[in-house]
Amino acid sequence: MNITTRFTEEMVSLAKSYCDNPDEAAAPEGGGSFAEYAMISLHGLRIFLDETYKMTIDRLEVMRPILEIIGLEPDDLPHPSTLNK
């Protein structure tokens, strides 16, 4: 297991323990919103990777194991501007 995978597992676990509804789907059906834990995890990954939001999203598009941990598919990833809000 690599360090990014381990970090993501810990980040998702901590984020879920913080959120009111940890069982919410990361990208609920119908789109337009993301579970709180997924957004926290994406922000944490951006900081961990020390990249811009755009670079983080671009990198995650090809990091299926990391997306699986968060509960997202490549098509579910938010636009980088969503992470800036």
- How far apart CA 80 and CA 32 sit, in angstroms, is 14
Residue 23 in domain: no
Please give the share of the chain, as a percent, with pLDDT higher than 70: 92
Residue 11 in domain: yes
Q: What is the pLDDT of residue 35?
A: 87
What's the pLDDT tens digit per position in 9-21? 999 999 999 988 8
Domain carrying residue 79: 3-15+33-83
Residue 22 pLDDT greater than 90, yes or no: no
What's the whole-number average pLDDT of the chain? 88
Residue 78 in domain: yes
Residue 28 in domain: no
Nearest 5°: the CA angle 43, 44, 46 is: 65
Residue 54 in domain: yes
Number of domains the chain is built from:
1
